[in-house]
A and B are shown apart, each in its own frame.
Chain A
Amino acid sequence: MSELLDPFFLLGQLRSGLTTAMFLFLIASGLSLIFGVLKIINFAHGSLYMIGAYIAWNMTLVLGRTSLGFLGAVVVASLSVAVLGGVVERLLLRYMYKRDELYQLLFTYALVLIFSDACKYLWGTQPHSVSRPPILSGSIDFYGVRFPHYDLFIILLGPVIAFGFWVLLNRTRYGRIIRAAALDREMLGALGANVSSLYTGMFALAAFLAGLSGALVSPIKSVVPGMDVEIIIEAFIVVVIGGLGSLWGTLLGSLIYGLTLAFGILIFPRFSIFAAFVIMAVVLIVRPWGLMGRPVR
C-alpha cells in the first residue's frame, strides 16, 4: 500500500490512465455520435477500429518505417475505413432504421461477425505490431517518471478532437443540421435538408474516427483478431457512463473509465475491470441516460 503514497508512482498511473481515456474517447465519440443522430447502437464500431489497425499495419509495410510513412498509413487507414462505413450505410444499414432496436443490434452484430472473419481471412491470425514513428518514439523524463512522446501526443489529441467536434456541432451550418437530425428526422427532411446523405456522412465520419483510432493504437497494442470485441465493450461502457449521444459525456466517461482502470489496479488488483462494469450498472440504475446525457423519450 506504500505505493499509494508515492506521488511519482501515482503520476505514472495518471499518465497511463489518461492515455487509455483519450484512446477510448476517440473510439467512443464515434459510437456516441451514431447513437445520437442515427439512434443505432453500433456494435460494428469495434470492427471498423480493428480494420483501421490492420490497414495501418499493412500500409506501414508498404510505406516504410518513417514518420511520413506512418502518417500516410494513418491517413489511408482512416479514409478507407470511412469509405467502408459509408458503403455499409448506403447498402444495408439504411433499411434498418425503421426496424426494432433488437433487429438493429443483431444487424450490427452480424457485421461484427463478418468483419472479424474477413480480417482473419485477409491478414491471418498471428499478431502484428507497428513500430512508433521515429518523431514520436522518444520520451520525456519527469523526475524519474517516463512520459513517452507518443502517449503525450495521444493525450493532447483527445481534447483537440473533442474541441473540433464541439466547433463542428455548435458553430457550423452542418452542425446545426446534425443537431436537428438528432431531434427530429422527418421535420428536418420536410424543411428541405437531404437527411439520407446526412446519415451516410455521419456514419462515414464515425467510421473515420474508428479507423483513425485503430491506426493510432497500432504502435501501442499488437494488432490481433479479437481486438474488436474487446474494445467495443470498453467503448460501450464509456458511452453509457457519459450518456448516449453526449459528446462531453463521452469525454467524462472515458476519463472515469481510464482513471478507474489505472487506479483501481492499486486498490483491487484483480477486479479493476469489474469496477468499470459496476460503475456502468450503477449509472444505468441511477441515471439511465448517463451522467451528462438528456433523458429522451
Chain B
Amino acid sequence: MKAKARRLSRRIPWTLVLFLIAALIPVLGSRYYTFLATDIIIFAVFATSLNLLLGVTGLVPFGHAAYFGIGAYVCAIFMKDLGLPFLLAWLLGGFGGALFAALFGFFCVRLTSVYFSMLTMAFAQIVWAICFKWNDVTGGEQGYPNVPMPSVAVFDWIPWLSRLRIDHKFFYLTLILAALTIAVMRRIVDSPFGRMLTTIRDNAERAQFIGTNVRLFQLIAFSLAGGFAALAGGLFGIFNRGVFPDFCYWPKSAEVLIMTILGGIHHFWGPSVGAAILILLNQYIVSYTEFWPFALGLILLVLLFALPGGVVGAIAGLVGRAASSSEGAPDAGVLGAKQDLFWLYRCKWREFRRGQELDHRRDRPQRRRQIYAVQSDHRTPASRPRARAV
C-alpha cells in the first residue's frame, strides 16, 4: 500500500507544482511577499550553484561570492553604461563569472582541502579589492547604484501581466529565469558528467584510476558553479537596485555556505530550502531585534551540533527510517561508497570461487538515481576496466 503511494507520489512532477505555487505569490497582491519570494528565489539559485561544488564535487570554496559579485557588476554595467538589453547583459554576466571562475579555478583545483578553500578566498578578496577601489568602473566604495529595471516586451503582450506593478513583473522574470537555471543545474547533476563529479567526491583516487582527468572535471565544475552564481548575482543586482563591493566580501561567501549547509548538501533541493529558511528567519528575527548576527550564530551552532545533515537531510533521514521500518528492508538508496566497495569485493570473491569472469554489475539492485562510484563509470563497455580475480 505504502509502496504504491510512494510510486504515485513519484509520478507527480513536484518541481512543476512548486513552480506553479510560486507563480501565485503576486496574486496575493502583497509587495512584501513578492519581495521576499524574489529574494529567496535568487539566493536559491546562488546556493544551488555553490552546492554543485560543495555537495556534488566535494570541494569547499570559501570565495563563491566573488562570482556572484562579478555577475552583478557585469550585468549592471552592461545594462546601464552600454545600454544592452537585459537578457543579453544577464547572460554576459553569467559568462563573465564562468570565465573568471575558470581562470581562478585553474589554480585552485591544484590544491587540496584547506588550501583550496584559502585560495578561493584569496581570489575572492582580490575581486573585492578591485571592486572596492576601481572607482571609474565599479563606483568603488559607493557602489554602482540605480541599476535600471529590465522591461520585457513579452510581458506587455499578456493583458493580465502588463497591468502588474514593476516588482511583480520582475518577480515573474526572476522566477522563469531561475527555474531555467535550476533545471539546467539539475540536468548537469544527473548527467554522466555530474555522476563523475560525485565519484570524484567519494573517491578521487578511484576516479583517477579509471582514467578520469580529475582536475579537469573539477575545473569545469568550478567554472560552471561560478557561472550560475554570476547569473544569480545579475538578478540580485537589479533586485537590489544597485551593486556594492559587499557582494564579493567574504561574509557573503560565508552566508551562502551557511544557507547551503542549513538546507543540506546531499540533496539537490537542500540549498534552496536553506535559502528560504535563512531569509525567512532573517525577516522574522530582524523585526524583533537588531541582533540578527547573534541569532545566526546560534542557528549555526544548533545546525552544527544537532543537524549535521541539514534540514532536508534530517527530514529525509526521518522519512527513510519510517519507510525502512515499515518495509523491513534497508533503503539501498542511502547506502554510500563503502557499501559499493563491499559489493566490488564480493564480486571479486565470487569470481575467484567460480573461476570465471563475472560482470559485477549484473546482479546489483538497480534503482533510479542511485549514486554509486562504480556506476558513474560511463565509458563504453569495451574500454572499461574489468574486475579480475586477485
Using CB atoms and an 8 Å cutoff, list the residues of chain A in contact with chain B.
41, 92, 95-96, 99, 101-103, 105-107, 109-114, 116-118, 120-121, 229, 233, 236-237, 240, 244, 270-271, 273-274, 277-278, 280-281, 284-285, 288-289, 297
Contacts and interface: CB of A to CB of B under 8 A. Distances in A.
Contacts of A105: 62, 117
Contacts of B308: 99, 103
Nearest to B104: A281
Contacts of A277: 122, 125-126, 129
Given A240-B122, A280-B125, 4 more contacts: A95-B305, A109-B254, A110-B298, A285-B119
Contact of A121 (B125, B133, B258, B291): B291
B126 A92 contact: no
B126 A117 contact: no
A116 B118 contact: no
A123 to B, nearest CB: 14
B170 interface: no
Contacts of B291: 117, 120-121
Contact of B296 (A103, A113, A280): A113
B261 to A, nearest CB: 7
B157 to A, nearest CB: 47
B133 A101 contact: no
B294 interface: yes
Contact of B133 (A113, A233, A270): A270
Contacts of B114: 41, 101, 244
B293 A273 contact: no
Interface in B248-281: 250-251, 254, 257-258, 261
Contacts of A274: 126, 129-130, 133
Given A271-B129, A277-B126, A110 B107 contact: no
B259 to A, nearest CB: 12
B123 interface: yes
A92 B298 CA distance: 12
A295 B304 CA distance: 29
A273 B297 contact: no
Nearest to A125: B290
A271 B293 CA distance: 30
A96 to B, nearest CB: 7
Given A280-B122, A281-B126, A103 B304 contact: yes
B60 interface: yes
Contact of B297 (A101, A111, A237, A281): A111
Nearest to A92: B301
B297 A110 contact: yes
Contacts of B303: 106
Contacts of A95: 305
B293 A281 contact: no
B62 to A, nearest CB: 7
Given A233-B125, A274-B126, A274-B129, A288 B107 contact: no
A110 B257 CA distance: 12
Contacts of A285: 107, 110, 119
27 contacts: A99-B304, A101-B113, A101-B117, A105-B117, A106-B257, A106-B300, A106-B303, A107-B300, A107-B301, A109-B300, A110-B304, A113-B294, A114-B293, A114-B298, A114-B301, A121-B291, A229-B251, A244-B114, A273-B129, A274-B126, A277-B125, A277-B129, A280-B125, A284-B111, A284-B119, A284-B122, A285-B107
A103 to B, nearest CB: 6
Nearest to A285: B107
Give the interface residue-count category, chain B. 35 or more
A111 B308 CA distance: 17
Contact of B293 (A103, A116, A270): A116
Interface in B291-333: 291, 293-294, 296-298, 300-301, 303-305, 308
Contacts of A101: 60, 113-114, 117
B115 interface: yes
A280 B117 CA distance: 13
A274 B133 CA distance: 9
Q: 4 closest Cβ contacts across the A-B interface?
A: A113-B297, A117-B294, A114-B297, A110-B300
A101 B59 CA distance: 11
Contacts of B254: 106, 109
Interface in B53-85: 54, 60, 62
Nearest to B110: A285
A225 to B, nearest CB: 10
A95 B304 CA distance: 10
A89 B258 CA distance: 22
Give the residue among B111, B122, B133 with the most A Cβ atoms within 10 A: B122
A101 B121 CA distance: 15
A3 to B, nearest CB: 21
A120 B293 CA distance: 11
Nearest to A244: B114
Nearest to A100: B60
A106 B258 contact: yes
B250 A233 contact: yes
Nearest to B127: A277
Contacts of B300: 106-107, 109-110, 113
B14 to A, nearest CB: 29
Contacts of B118: 236, 240, 284
A7 B168 CA distance: 63
Interface in B101-151: 107, 110-115, 117-119, 122-123, 125-126, 129-130, 133
B123 A281 contact: yes
Given A274-B126, A284-B111, A288-B111, A96 B251 contact: no
